[in-house]
Amino acid sequence: MSQQVLAPAADQAQAIATVWQTMFWPNVVIYMAMLAALAWALWRRRAVVADAAVQARQERNWVRALVAWIVFIALVLTAYTAVSFVQDRHRLAHAPDALRVRITANQWWWQVDYLDPDPSRQVGTANELHLPLGRMTRIDLLSGDVIHSLWIPALNGKEDLIPGRSTQLALTPRAIGHYRGECAEFCGLQHAHMLLPVTVESPAAFAAWLDARRAPAATPASPSAVRGQQVFESGTCAMCHAIAGTSADSHAGPDLTHIASRPMLAAGALPNDRAHLAAWLVDPQAFKPGTKMPNPRLQPQEVSDLVDYLEGLR
Amino acid sequence: MSARDANVEAQLARTWADKPGLVGWLSTTDHKRVGRRYLVTAIVFFALAGLMALVMRTQLALPDNHLLGPDRYNQFFSMHGSVMMFLFAVPVMTAMGAYLVPLMLGARASSFPRLNAFGYWIYLFGGLTIFVAFALDAGPETGWTAYVPLSSSDFSAGHRTDIWSQMVNFTEVSALCVAAQVVTSFMVTRAPGMRLDRIPLFVWAQVVTAFMMMFAMPSVMLASQALQSDRQFGTHFFNPGEGGDPLLWQHLFWFFGHPEVYIIFIPALGMISSIVQTFARRRIFGHTAMVVAMLAIGFLSFGLWVHHMFATGLPPLGNSFYTIASMLIAIPSGVQIFCWIATLWLGRPRFATPLLFVLGFFALFVIGGLSGVMLASVPLDTQVHDSYFVVAHFHYVLIGGAVFPLIGGFYYWFPKFTGRLLSEGMGKLNFWLLFAGVNLTFFPMHWLGLAGMQRRIYTWPAGLGWEWANMAATVGSYIVGIGVLLFVANVVWSLRRGQVAGDNPWDAPELEWATSSPPPPWNFTEAPVVRSLTPLWSDTPIEWLRGLKSDKREMLLTSIAEARPTARWGCPDPSIWPFLSALTLTLQFIWTIFDPWGWVWASIPMAVAMTIWFWPKKSEPSME
């Protein structure tokens, strides 16, 4: 999973990397020149007896050099500002056919809704973001509680999600792959575990993935999974989570309709596999201290059934 | 010394003596005793906050480390930032000013000696409050910036944030007291002949800083009061559900927070100027340009707070304005760097520990300055903002730009403070340890930020390539720790065994070196007459203006531009009431954390204490 600012995989991150390249090397040269000037000032050969007239001339030369130095800094800053301004407009550019997504940040997970002019085709998921290659996705950013910030370093700079406000982020990915998204604004106890894994795929693969999201949850395939669904619907799980196609329809926590197909659990706190899922269900606070998910206090058999059920939700 | 002089000095010693015993200790208004306490207190807070940083670095040395849980870690980094910014960096700079400004001005005392003492006590009590709270597991938990709504009562229950916000009030009251004192000292207590163009750059730096405090501090006090009001009374300054706005907090906080950085940095510019001048053995090149540059930095620093908010979705055109304003700061900073290099070139440099720390300043601060220019760019800032790149940037700026000059200044003025020199051998080792440690700690963090590591996370996962850089940073931080320990050892050793300094061990040109080391309580027996920027380097010995009384606490007041003598002023006697008033204000601040009625009831003892403090005394000499 890539998360390098200087290995851009989208137009926006590329624009920013251009600004970096523009400013980095001149800055290195300026720094080295400053150190060289300092060394020269310290260790130059000096006349044993300083002549007053010579000193006065030296000082006049330094005044001229100061003026030149100020002009030089001003020119460098002007160039930096111009490049920064132009590239920022690239970063903020709109595309009329952009895919629309709404992301709502919560302590400590991401709700991701794919918008559509036809409301019946809108679909939600959580803690994963899939993007089509080569097409701009415009994301509306909202917050359900405190200020968060969405940062996918390989794709674009970060943008805050602020309660009471709506902000936007555009992503035009140019390379298929997996990218790390994370919360970059301190948001409380589990700021460290608030990841948003991003998958960039071909437009066809993306369309297939999105269609699969629109399908209701898979029906349980084994007796233990059937029991697991009963545990889910009749226990505490359904008080916070939704699984489309079942009676569980609460949105206080992440939607779990296709939980088994996601890369990670609990917004990046755990790998998504059977053993970790079972351990998480037994004691969420052990893996993500402070998470809003309470200990569901399940019997071992119930945990096993529930895991069978959830592992089938692809 | 003639017999008359000996008699005069004996009489001055009686006049300016503090009362004996504990009462005398608590009631002193001598700016040097107060300044020394300020310095020692600030350095203790610095050491404690530094220890917290070592614990955090230990936690972050390895991936998925669980030495500290998230709650503890959040308290650690919030304390580290709050203590370093509010209780170390600003107070230690004002402490140097409190001690040195009257000496550099050739004055017998500071302009508001009681207010100065009051400011110290408030600062001490504010610091103690937050450390006691931290020890009781009630330390701040929302970072030194305490963004709402995370710091609102919904998400930060209990009193942790209330205590933090009250600590802010303590330190800002204290800073405003010192600011008023410095500005007034600058205006009316300068030595005769110290015209505006003959004022040392250190004093200019302190004055610019004091004015900045007066404009910046009220903003954060307003913000913290609004926060407390939201938390205690259910007002809605920051609640978007009722028409408030979380961004209001950020505007108010950074309108203070960005100038704050320069409030820390500008006094360091003054220290560097004094050190460069003395060790280049030449008057500073471009004195006027330096003063203008400092005023420009002070002014510009109020126009760039939004560069902390480039990721909040503000209008792009407005952001562009703040890009330009932020970049402009590079011009006066570049002028300063240029003038120091020119001074060293034109002079005959002599290498000693203070100059070594100034050279370290060049090497570190310019890295931070150049990365700061990069942060001014909106698109680049959205990448590296709130990442470890920014952590690297501001530590280079604050350690390189303020702590290195401060330690250099400490080596430089220590003989004036104590009468003894610090050990040069230990000093040089001290420098190299700190220089290596700081670079090893913070340079890799630039890379970590570009590799996607965000700030303020209590743990990080393996497999992202962050391992080596985090380990290097942790090792570096331990080296810094050893360096600081060596500094403390040097101070302790030199206090007893250090070489005796004499009045002017460095052959320095400014007025603080014209009196004995350490100076007597009255600083100067007569008022020195100033005829140039470097009075102690003139060909003729310094002249003294006689006529100040020695049987009364009297000092000379001069006019604001030309520094012509205008009056003899009776300086207030020492008094216990500033201390007692500070206690009553502390009572009020702490009471109101738990119960808003504290505002009402605690104001009664405060009114009594302050009335007695300001009660006019017939025995006090009046203006003549």
Q: Compute φ and ψ for A109, nearest 5 degrees.
A: -160, 165
CA A244 to CA A232: how far, in whole Å?
13
Specify the residue for token string 């404690």: B48
Best A11, A35, A83, A85 residue to mutate vs chain B (most B CBs within 10 Å): A85
Q: Is B547 on the interface with A (CB under 8 A)?
A: no
In A, residues 170-199, which contact B (CB 8 Å cutoff)? 180, 182-192
Q: What is the DSSP string of A87-106?
A: HHHHHH---TT-EEEEEEEE
- Would the CB atoms of A5 and B452 count as touching at under 8 Å? yes
Q: Which residues of B140-157 are buried (b: 16+ CB within 10 A; e: fewer)?
A: bbbbbbbbbbbbbeebbe
Contact between residue B291 and residue B204 where contact means Cβ atoms under 8 Å apart: yes
ipTM of the complex: 0.96
Best A151, A167, A194, A264 residue to mutate vs chain B (most B CBs within 10 Å): A151
- Would the CB atoms of B383 and A70 count as touching at under 8 Å? no
Phi-psi region of A188 (alpha: psi -120 to 50; beta: other; left: phi over 0): left
- Would the CB atoms of B452 and A4 count as touching at under 8 Å? yes
CA B215 to CA B223: how far, in whole Å?
14
Closest CA to B457 of B380, B386, B394: B386
Closest CA to A240 of A292, A163, A297: A292
CA B435 to CA B482: how far, in whole Å?
12
Higher pLDDT, B548 or A207: A207
> Which residue is closest to B276 within chain A, CA to CA?
A42
Query: Residue B289: which of A66, A158, A186 has the nearest Cβ?
Result: A66
Contact between residue B253 and residue B148 where contact means Cβ atoms under 8 Å apart: no
Query: Residue B345: which of A34, A44, A156 has the nearest Cβ?
Result: A44
- Chain B residues within 8 A of A81 when measuring between CB atoms: 320, 323-324, 327, 377
Q: What is the mean pLDDT of residues B328-355?
A: 95
- Would the CB atoms of A192 and B457 count as touching at under 8 Å? yes
Q: Compute φ and ψ for B47, nearest 5 degrees.
A: -65, -40
Angle at the Cα of B341 (from B339 to B342), degrees rounded to 5? 60
Query: Residue B70: which of A4, A34, A189 has the nearest Cβ?
Result: A189
* Domains of chain A with bracketed CATH: 1-214 (2.60.40.420), 223-311 (2.60.40.420)
> What is the per-residue pLDDT for B373?
95
CA B472 to CA B443: how far, in whole Å?
9
Q: Is A6 on the interface with B (CB under 8 A)?
A: yes
Contact between residue B408 and residue B353 where contact means Cβ atoms under 8 Å apart: yes
Q: Is B289 on the interface with A (CB under 8 A)?
A: yes
Which helix (H) or strand (E) covers residue B357, if one does?
Answer: helix B353-375
One-letter amino acid at A181 equals G
The alpha-carbon gap from B576 to the nearest alpha carbon of chain A, in Å, equals 44
Query: Residue A88: which of B316, B386, B455 has the nearest Cβ?
Result: B316
The alpha-carbon gap from A216 to the nearest alpha carbon of chain B, in Å, equals 34
The alpha-carbon gap from B458 to the nearest alpha carbon of chain A, in Å, equals 6
Chain segment B343-352, per-residue pLDDT in tens: 999 999 999 9
- Would the CB atoms of A41 and B344 count as touching at under 8 Å? yes
Q: What is the mean pLDDT of residues B223-251?
A: 94
pTM of this prediction? 0.95
User: Which residues, listed in sequence order, are joined to residue A125 by a DSSP beta bridge?
Assistant: A112
The chain-wide mean pLDDT, for chain A, equals 95
Which helix (H) or strand (E) covers residue A233, if one does?
Answer: helix A223-234
The alpha-carbon gap from B593 to the nearest alpha carbon of chain A, in Å, equals 22
Q: What is the mean pLDDT of residues B307-329?
A: 93
Angle at the Cα of B143 (from B137 to B148), degrees rounded to 5? 110
Specify the residue for token string 């009631």: B27
The alpha-carbon gap from B444 to the nearest alpha carbon of chain A, in Å, equals 15
Q: Is A33 on the interface with B (CB under 8 A)?
A: no
> What is the per-residue pLDDT for B622?
52
Give B64's DSSP letter. T
Chain segment B597-619, per-residue pLDDT in tens: 999 999 999 999 999 999 876 65
Query: Residue A84: which of B323, B454, B464 has the nearest Cβ?
Result: B323
The burial class, CB within 10 Å (0-12 / 13-18 / 19+), for B609 is: buried
> What is the per-residue pLDDT for B7?
87
In A, residues 89-108, which contact B (CB 8 Å cutoff)? 89, 91-92, 107
> What is the per-residue pLDDT for A55?
86
CA B154 to CA B139: how far, in whole Å?
17
Q: Is B599 on the interface with A (CB under 8 A)?
A: no
Q: What percent of chain B has pLDDT over 90?
A: 92
Phi-psi region of B262 (alpha: psi -120 to 50; beta: other; left: phi over 0): alpha
Helix (H, G, I), strand (E, B) or coil at B309: coil
With bands split at pLDDT 50, 70 and 90, how would you rate the model's confidence at A52? confident
CA B351 to CA B83: how far, in whole Å?
33
Closest CA to B140 of B168, B116, B115, B170: B168
Helix (H, G, I), strand (E, B) or coil at A309: helix
**Whether pLDDT at B621 is above 80:** no
One-letter amino acid at B624 equals E
Chain segment B445-477, per-residue pLDDT in tens: 999 999 999 999 999 999 999 999 999 999 999
In B, residues 369-398, which contact A (CB 8 Å cutoff)? 370-371, 373-374, 376-387
Contact between residue B543 and residue B529 where contact means Cβ atoms under 8 Å apart: yes
**Whether pLDDT at B3 is above 70:** no
- Chain A residues within 8 A of B367 when measuring between CB atoms: 31
Which helix (H) or strand (E) covers residue A160, if one does?
Answer: strand A159-161
Q: Is B454 on the interface with A (CB under 8 A)?
A: yes
Chain segment A106-147, per-residue pLDDT in tens: 999 999 999 999 999 999 999 999 999 999 999 999 999 999
- Would the CB atoms of A157 and B382 count as touching at under 8 Å? yes
Closest CA to B285 of B209, B333, B345, B225: B345
Q: Is B335 on the interface with A (CB under 8 A)?
A: yes
> What is the per-residue pLDDT for B409?
97
One-letter amino acid at B491 equals V
Higher pLDDT, B521 or B623: B521
Q: Is B341 on the interface with A (CB under 8 A)?
A: yes
Which helix (H) or strand (E) covers residue A178, if one does?
Answer: strand A177-183
> Which residue is closest to B382 within chain A, CA to CA?
A157
Structure tokens of A26? Answer: 């001149």
Residues 6+ apart with CB under 8 A from A282: A295, A298, A303
Chain segment B142-188, per-residue pLDDT in tens: 999 999 999 999 999 999 999 999 999 999 999 999 999 999 999 99
**Whether pLDDT at B23 is above 70:** yes
Q: Is B157 on the interface with A (CB under 8 A)?
A: no
- Chain B residues within 8 A of A84 when measuring between CB atoms: 323, 376-380
Q: What is the DSSP string of B108-165?
A: SS-SSHHHHHHHHHHHHHHHHHHHHHHHTT----STTTT-TTTTSTTTS-TTHHHHHH
- Would the CB atoms of B374 and A23 count as touching at under 8 Å? yes
Q: Is B359 on the interface with A (CB under 8 A)?
A: yes
CA B186 to CA B203: how far, in whole Å?
8
Give A270's DSSP letter. E
Angle at the Cα of B305 (from B303 to B311), degrees rounded to 5? 135
In 10 A of CB A289, how many CB atoms?
Answer: 15
Q: Is B320 on the interface with A (CB under 8 A)?
A: yes
Q: Compute φ and ψ for A183, nearest 5 degrees.
A: -85, 130
CA A299 to CA A230: how far, in whole Å?
14
Chain segment A250-273, per-residue pLDDT in tens: 999 999 999 999 999 999 999 999
> What is the per-residue pLDDT for B540?
87
Q: Is A148 on the interface with B (CB under 8 A)?
A: no
With bands split at pLDDT 50, 70 and 90, how would you rate the model's confidence at B1? very low
In A, residues 241-260, which contact B (CB 8 Å cutoff)? none
